[in-house]
Structure 1
Amino acid sequence: MAQSLKNLKQDFVSNLTGGTINEINLVTAVAPATYILYAALQTRLGFFKSYGPLQFVADFLLSAVAILFSITLYSSFPLLLNLLIISPAILLHLGQPRNTKRPAKPKPHNVEKEANSVPEFPKKAFLTVYRGSMMVITCCAILAVDFRVFPRRFAKVENWGTSLMDIGVGSFVFSGGMMSAKPVIRSYLVKRASEPLGARLKSAMRTSLPLLVLGIVRLIMVKGVDYAEHVTEYGVHWNFFFTLGFLPPLLAIFESVSPAAFKMGISPTFVYTLLSLVTAVGYQIVLEKTGLKAFILVGDRNKYGLISQNKEGISSFAGYLSIFLAGMATGMYTLPRAAQSQRFGLLKKLTGWSLFWTVSFMIAKERWGLDIAVSRRLANLPYILWVASFNTAQITAFYLVERGYFYGVEYSVSVPKVLEAFNRNGLAIFLVANLLTGLVNISINTLECGRVLAMGVLTSYILVLTLLAVGLDYKNMSIKL
């Protein structure tokens, strides 16, 4: 009976073809929409200035439950949900005067002194909201996918196509790449030579080791309890933690290119965009001109031992590396402190790069230009470009909301505490979410749960994760993995 249930669960997430990109964009637009409502409540009513139980409930409903509903109960009506969220914000905007006072203009800085100092990376509301929202929707989806209330078109596709969970995996890697840009930015702005390769590799291994350990632990747990697996996702033994764990050493090697490029006056954004594109195009050429694509999709899984057993995870690593590099390129211009003289500089860059990635994706995608279908399983060129396009567009949307409502306002006022908490300990919360997902699947038959029970379980699950995240943030604890 247990084996039969395992097969049913495997079939439930197998051989899926996904949905449309337009629907994915509408569903994920709920995150910027809730930020608009949060901003309206904050700037018009000062609702979240004092944070108590009532504010936590409202924050939880906006930052977590709305996202959960968008991928479940309102999955077929994303536009309606967006309108329901934005409508109160419009009424507040029209009917209430602004409550948040803008500060006086800052005194001009000594530009030369600032340029020669070590750059600071101030907290930026739009980046925190972007990363926090991405973490919330990822945590929601990894459990919701096991229930029938979660549409099959949102689950990961088998070979070709686009889905909500496909973009979620890539976004996780893209976001991690953004945060990895800080040491490169420091080296570039202070004209300092980067560390020797050996030192960089040693530091990278310290970052990788916990992730690889988590991957091994997850592998042991999954095999130990005979948990239902979707083998064609990453392979027999590979999992997402291994992909994350092997990225830092490769990044340390790629950083060897930076010093020479910087001496030539090439911006780090251009350098890492070029590295990303070279990796993506090179990988796509290998897929098309060799037998690699056919081997991954239909090849014998046991022909070359561990390599063929984990062919998806090993081969797609090149694609995820390219996504990571694209994320780094984005971090190069979003993380540093903005110059006072460039009031619309960041908006221009975000808009320009978002258009660049979007046009590149349109050129490469199926039925356009190169006529290549998107494949998360391969992590091929159109998939890479889609992830970069989607994420830069999302960041631009959050930045527009922040600039429209909170320009010149201090950071603490402009960020929902729930999203800040998810962002602060994202990887730790993601690990707990994976453990809770396994616990729920072992405890109940998710396939037989009706809507009411499924939503009860999912809401309780995301509430537990939210309480954990907010609790850690309240205790001023940052768990680094």
Structure 2
Amino acid sequence: MANATSASYKQLKEAFVSNLSGGTVSEIAQVCAVAPVVALLWSVLQARQSFFKPYTPLAFVVDFLLNVGALLLSVTLYSGAPVLLGALLAAAAAFVYVLPPGRRRKPKLPPAAQTKTSTGSTAGSLGVLSTKPFLTNYRGNMMALTCICILAVDFRLFPRRFAKVETWGTSLMDMGVGSFVFSAGVVASRPVLKERADGSRGTPLATRLLRSIRHSLPLLALGIIRLLSVKGLDYAEHVSEYGVHWNFFFTLGFLPPFVALFQSALRFIPSYAGLAILLGVLYQVVLESTELKAFILAGPRTDLLSMNREGIFSFWGYLAIFLAGQDTGMLVLPRSLNPSSTATPGNQRRRLLFTMAAWSLVWVALYFFCTDYAWGAGLTVSRRIANLPYMLWVVAFNTLLLTSFCLVDTLLFPAFYSARDTRAEKEAYDTATSRVLRAYNRNGLAVFLLANLLTGLVNMTVPTLDVGPMPTVGILVGYMAVVTVAAVGLDVYNISIKL
């Protein structure tokens, strides 16, 4: 009897996340717009009142409530009114801004040491690459929201329109998956930029493949562990999401070798953006001109390929998203868009902002012409097959989000862009970034793995479908508190876990 009850509850949970049609693009944008508004409030508190410096226990609690709690509210209690939540946060930011500024104490910095860095410059001088505050805030927010959603989706308080759609349509979690890949692509451009800065002709293909495979092995191992855990524990699963055996860790694990292969195409196509668009268009042409789309959506599951067809073929769409992320990284990671320019720091940061805004409009226009029925191709977004509209939606959305974080950064923390040595820049960076978001960004994949383990633990011990609204919020707050404390603890002890 107990086994029958367990089986029926598993079927209920699988049905709870199946056959969903999603929500509107505008509502997803409204929910995610809460993140840059939170960044605005946090930045005003820091820039005007130095609230998070020194970083006291009270500062940590407020940091957590803003950068995690507000996101949690946006997908639960305020899911029907994200604009109201954003307006309340914006009003709080305006109120703090008009208050008299607090006293600021400038710490005395020791002389810059003249030791060599990895790029060959002295420790006191600035290299060609930098980690800009807005990029850390963007990646940290994306990771925090991802951790929230992977558990929240199992509770009834989380709207079904935010959960992954079955085949056609858009949802918050569909955007989250693509954003994870896009964000990984952004930081993956760093080795390429370092090679160019060093004047290298490029790493040989065999060496690139070997390095990428070493990076892939831990991810593929995690994919196998997740597969064995799900099957061994009889955990509820949504087969049409990636297939019978495939999971997201396999998608992440196979990306590096294919990116290494595609880098050779840059000899013929001068930008990662062009490569991403070409790959997305070719994949869409194959979907429309062959039986591939019908096979992915409705084919029988008779062998290993057909049983995992969603994960295997959607990989090409995720690869295009990753390459587009790399193109964005080539824009935001260099210290200056034009190193030989004599433009002032103020002009440099405004040029970056305007360039990012221009690229955002380009991606939005491409998405519009791909999906609009009157003026464009009239295609529909599908995360299940990761088609061209999905790729363009993810890239347009993330470039817009990055631009909004960059705007906050540019307005409230110009000191970062005026730093003359690495120590001053590091101090300006720490001042302009949330400790919580820095921690999520620093060990993102390890934090994501911990969140997956805790999600499994909660689902094995709590009948999530029977939990009311307020207990749901309590469980999610406790879960995110554990994840956040673990992330910040790793950061405090200067531990970086590379997977």
Q: TM-score range by the shorter chain?
A: over 0.9
Change (3 A) 1:2 1:366: farther
The aligned counterpart of 1:62 is 66
For the residues of structure 2 that align with 1:51 and 1:150, how far apart are their CA atoms?
33
TM-aligned CA deviation for residue 256 of structure 1: 1.5
Find the aligned partners of 2:482 and 2:163 in 1 and give their Cα distance.
Answer: 23
* In structure 2, C-alpha distance between the alignment counterparts of 1:346 and 1:100, rounded to whole Å: 28
Q: For 2:492 and 2:486, locate their aligned partners in 1 and report how far apart those are by CA, in whole Å.
A: 10
Does residue 287 of the first structure (1) align with residue 279 of the second (2)?
no
- The AA in structure 2 aligned to 1:441 is N
Paired residue for 1:330? Answer: 328
Q: Distance in 1 between matches of 2:104 and 2:172?
A: 36
Shift of residue 43, structure 1, vs aligned partner: 1.5
**Identity across the alignment (%):** 53
**Structure 1 match to 2:373:** 367
Aligned residue type for 1:445: P
Structure 1 counterpart of 2:311: 313
The two structures, once aligned, show a CA RMSD in angstroms of 1.8
Contact 2:50 2:102 in 1 (8 A): no
TM superposition shift of 1:190 = 3.7
- Find the aligned partners of 2:247 and 2:102 in 1 and give their Cα distance: 48
Aligned to 1:377: 384
In structure 2, what is the Cα distance between the partners aligned to 1:390 and 1:29?
Answer: 11
Measure, in 2, the Cα distance between the counterparts of 1:43 and 1:195: 43
Determine if the alignment matches structure 1 residue 402 to structure 2 residue 402: no
The answer on whether the counterparts of 1:280 and 1:381 sit within 8 Å (CA) in structure 2 is: yes
1:44 aligned partner, one-letter code: R
SS of alignment partner, residue 449 of structure 2:
helix
Task: Look up the SS of the partner of 1:59 in the other structure.
Answer: helix
Matched, 1:219 2:227: yes
Asked if 1:80 is matched to 2:84, the reply is: yes
Residue pair 1:320, 1:379 contacting (<8 A) in 2 also: yes
Question: Is the Cα contact below 8 Å between 2:440 and 2:484 reproduced in 1?
Answer: yes
Distance in 1 of aligned mates of 2:17 and 2:462: 17
Answer whether contact 1:43 1:98 (CA < 8 A) is retained: no
Secondary structure at the residue paired with 1:429?
A: helix
Task: State the one-letter code of the partner of 1:403.
Answer: T
Letter matched to residue 279 of structure 2? T
CA distance in 2, matches of 1:4, 1:36: 46
Q: CA deviation at 1:191?
A: 3.3
- The separation in 1 between residues aligned to 2:103 and 2:483, in whole angstroms, is 32
Aligned equivalent of 2:278: 278
Q: How many residues align?
A: 460
SS for the counterpart of 1:165 is helix
Aligned to 1:108: none
The answer as to 2:111 corresponding to 1:93 is: no
Measure, in 1, the Cα distance between the counterparts of 2:87 and 2:212. Answer: 45
Further displaced range: 176-185 or 144-153: 176-185
CA contact (8 A) 1:238 1:313 kept: yes
Aligned residue runs from structure 1 range 125-204, under 5 A: 125-204=133-212
Once the 2 structures are TM-superposed, how far is the Cα of residue 186 of structure 1 from its aligned partner?
2.3
CA distance in 2, matches of 1:476, 1:119: 22
Unpaired runs of 5+ residues, structure 1, are 104-114
Corresponding residue for 1:52?
56
Change (3 A) 1:436 1:91: same
TM value normalised by structure 1: 0.93
CA apart distance, 1:100: 5.9
Deviation at 1:119, TM superposition (A): 4.8
Where does residue 389 of structure 1 map in the other structure?
A: 396
Q: Summarize deviations over 1:13-69 as a string: whole Å, max 9, x none.
A: 000000011111110111101111111111121111111110010000001011011
Task: Give the superposition deviation at 1:95.
Answer: 3.0
> Which of 345, 358, 362 in structure 2 is aligned with 1:356?
362
Aligned to 2:447: 429
Match of residue 464, structure 2, among 446, 457, 476: 446
